[in-house]
Chain A
């Protein structure tokens, strides 16, 4: 039995929290992903750690699948899309072509992150420090508490769920109905425990945690203020 999508109302906007870690805004046909960290793997090669050089194509492929599934018309990447300033030059032709394709077939917006203040110049799509659509504000680093309708990334939240002696750790969405934190989408991106002060300090009125499963996201935790 598959359950319906995991829905979240942010302010007055109805959003879908997808199992992939992406956010889908049906009314605006907009797909939002955070912290892609392209070429994180190759960034380690300089220090002699040869991680499998397939993380960028793995991330791009997952993104392509989502675009087709949702028939998205607009994509917002919430910053830290490239792991570092040199990441753009380390992409190979195939990966560059795939990325250009993505940015040409949708209205693509790159929000600036702290890892990639300047995404590569050849890249299609708009580059913005932050972006407002309707009542929602999209930015990389979450701002002061109390802001209504903010969608942010940056923190890579993850949660550990334990039950009956078994425990799993998953990336997660975190929200209090006013602000929403997205999990990192990149193939090699790790996670910060949601109990960390960096996360809890953002939600003065309590918050809910939605862990990513295989089929959908699940509400696994409701933390009171």
Chain B
């Protein structure tokens, strides 16, 4: 596929000369992209990092602009969209080199949230030849009345890191804006740049307008694969923890790996894990190596500082979260260390690719499993990456809340005919197949809220003109739209300000960044926790900030770690199941893990890949049932809730359950052996029970909040007055309760359900699992806990069944308080 061995095209001058002067020869995929451009075809380039992918995307544009006759006025020729603003800026800088060295008359500009208002204004009237921006900025440009003029001469759209964005709400919004671009500039073509993916077809579909019937795909070019990376596990032959996610036992080895390399990226899965790992490393950093911390809640200036130090080669290591999964190239990074399980092969490849951006040399990476199951997962991921296999992902359909936002945006640009906009929306692949009535309901929602009780007609945002077009009711609505546009909704966060001890709360204080409000709210003054790499003592909340001071303590009192953020991919789960079921492959694992599996085989059994093992045993006055689906924590939590409901109905009095990535444990007061497991795990459980539970769950309420903000039901910011996250959270729960009671089939609840069921709860995945194990459940009734069950029992589940558990919590708090008050021992 990539073997365009003898290029059919040679590069025109001065490009050929420029390549030669640098001692480069154009790569096959770069020439292929020039050919597709000459034929005016959209194309997807799939290539690993380091293959000159970005230059390939721009080469046709540079060639076209270089050979164009002298222009009197400039028009926007090429639009480049990157999911990261830093990447857009970096690419702009890199483009300057060939343009300057070939003395091309091409103007390149970026447009981000930081671009001064005067330049943004000017870009509308006098755009550059090439504009580099983010999806959110494009959304805003298109919602402006001058959009038709700005984009009418557009020839090319380059979409970078498309794999990272297409299957998300951000991707939905981008797809809708691309559909609008097709209306404004019917002759433009699109170029998608993507890292290696398991299945490129969804991306090929995403890049071209979809016909009403059938599907259209763009051309595909694959770059040459890079060298196979060298991946090793850091796992002790003596000790492997039973549970936990921090891998504290391995920090000396991690430090040794950092010392061996020039510059290391140390990836972890959550921000809290980043904080604790950073602290652990500094505690043993006897050589005072320059090790920094980078995650999304640190103050932006602080992050910029770390990035700059990294670019200048002043750091030996950065402990980071997925904030550095994508981004600008740091040539100096030669080592990647992943702490905790990788969760997916594609994520691992992406992270490993951050080291050594040269194709011909292998990247080097270390995986550091934090517990026994993670050893299995790391080993499975390592084998998958070496075999060049990646996990596919389930495709989401276009979200309705995003569509609502887009409809308002289009009304801000110009009055629209409902049928025309509907056709345009259908051509975007995530919305292909959207029913006409559903679209009408979304428009109705935008216009007056879409309620059966027509109360808001006089406040309508959209009104019909005499010609039957929908128009914006008032220009100030466009201003509100601009402040609320975008699909990224943050958890409610609160500023963390550092002040010296003893000063009154609220007096001054440097901003350290932001933390989730729910975490801060459970602190009492004096409690210590870890943030921004330090142990901090909480002083109090004043207005919208939490005030803290430095603590002399080495360890924080309040543990702030909560589980993994990413679910285990289906693909990797399958490989883990296969590895467990095949004793011949166990010799690859460290001794304690081999021993663990062997004793499991002897005491209970090792399930075969298609089977579901269910163990029952008594322990400490409770009766347990543990099963091992290996389907990720979300799917297991959902399963746990459904199974406990069934057990309740059978009067077996389940009292709790907890789930981790690999297993689910349920316990109760009565013996759970001797149940009809076929019935208990039947797929019909995904019916009414699921809906009823879903509606009550916190997860669903959080999802509703996101949808409400994106759809514009709730404003995230008001011109002039910032609405804080704390007000938003509280009121959306109330709104949700009222809406659910009075209009349960409202379009926004439908949007929420779609999101929660398909994405967040892994319901589809659970359904697949139940189908797979039907008639293949093996039961083992044991007299005590099995080796495989231990990690599941050590895991503490944070999200229990909400209603009853919360009542219990209040009850216990009262009892504890009363017991305390009634104590007479002095």
Contacts and interface: CB of A to CB of B under 8 A. Distances in A.
Contacts of B461: 48
- Name which of A57, A195, A218 has the most chain B CB atoms within 10 A of its CB: A218
Contacts of A155: none
Interface of B: 445, 448-451, 453, 455-456, 459, 461, 477, 480, 518, 521-522, 541, 712-715, 718, 727, 730-731, 734-735, 737-739, 741-743, 746, 796, 798, 800, 803, 805-807, 809-814, 817-818, 821
Contact of A221 (B714, B807, B817): B817
A165 interface: yes
A169 B809 CA distance: 11
Contacts of A218: 810-811, 813-814
A188 B810 contact: no
Contact of A188 (B451, B731, B821): B731
A190 B813 contact: no
Nearest to B698: A168
A48 B602 CA distance: 66
A209 B731 CA distance: 22
A160 B455 contact: no
Interface in A188-206: 188-191, 193, 195
A70 interface: no
Contacts of B449: 45, 50-53
A53 B714 CA distance: 14
Interface string A211-225: 101110011111000
B453 A54 contact: yes
A30 interface: no
A166 B805 contact: yes
Nearest to A186: B734
A166 B798 contact: yes
A48 to B, nearest CB: 6
A214 B746 CA distance: 26
Contacts of B821: 222
Nearest to B525: A195
Contacts, number: 128
Given A166-B800, A191-B730, A222-B821, A54 B739 contact: yes
A167 B451 contact: no
A198 to B, nearest CB: 12
A46 B455 contact: no
Contacts of A195: 541
B482 to A, nearest CB: 13
A188 B796 contact: no
Given A49-B714, A52-B743, A222-B821, A188 B735 contact: yes
12 contacts: A42-B456, A47-B715, A48-B459, A49-B714, A50-B448, A51-B735, A162-B522, A163-B813, A168-B806, A168-B809, A187-B738, A222-B817
A208 to B, nearest CB: 9
Interface residues of A, number: 46
B453 A53 contact: yes
A58 B730 CA distance: 17
A188 B734 contact: yes
A58 B739 CA distance: 10
A13 B725 CA distance: 40
Contacts of B739: 52, 54
B715 A161 contact: no
- Name which of A41, A54, A163, A191 has the most chain B CB atoms within 10 A of its CB: A54
Contacts of B806: 166, 168, 213
A215 B798 contact: no
A92 interface: yes
A225 to B, nearest CB: 16
Contact of A52 (B746, B812, B818): B746
Contacts of A215: 807
A176 interface: no
Contacts of A166: 798, 800, 805-806, 809
B38 to A, nearest CB: 48
A179 interface: no
Nearest to A214: B807
- Name which of B445, B448, B477, B734 has the most chain A CB atoms within 10 A of its CB: B734
A154 interface: no
Contact of A48 (B445, B480, B522, B800): B480
A54 B818 contact: no
A45 B811 contact: no
A50 B456 contact: yes
A54 B803 CA distance: 23
A75 to B, nearest CB: 22
Nearest to B812: A163
B246 to A, nearest CB: 16
A218 B455 CA distance: 38
A180 B462 CA distance: 47
A35 interface: no
B738 A52 contact: yes
Nearest to B481: A48
A54 B742 contact: yes
A214 B730 CA distance: 18
Given A41-B738, A54-B739, 14 more contacts: A45-B455, A47-B718, A53-B453, A53-B455, A54-B742, A92-B455, A161-B809, A168-B806, A169-B521, A188-B734, A190-B730, A213-B811, A214-B807, A220-B817
Contacts of A169: 521, 730
A213 B814 CA distance: 11
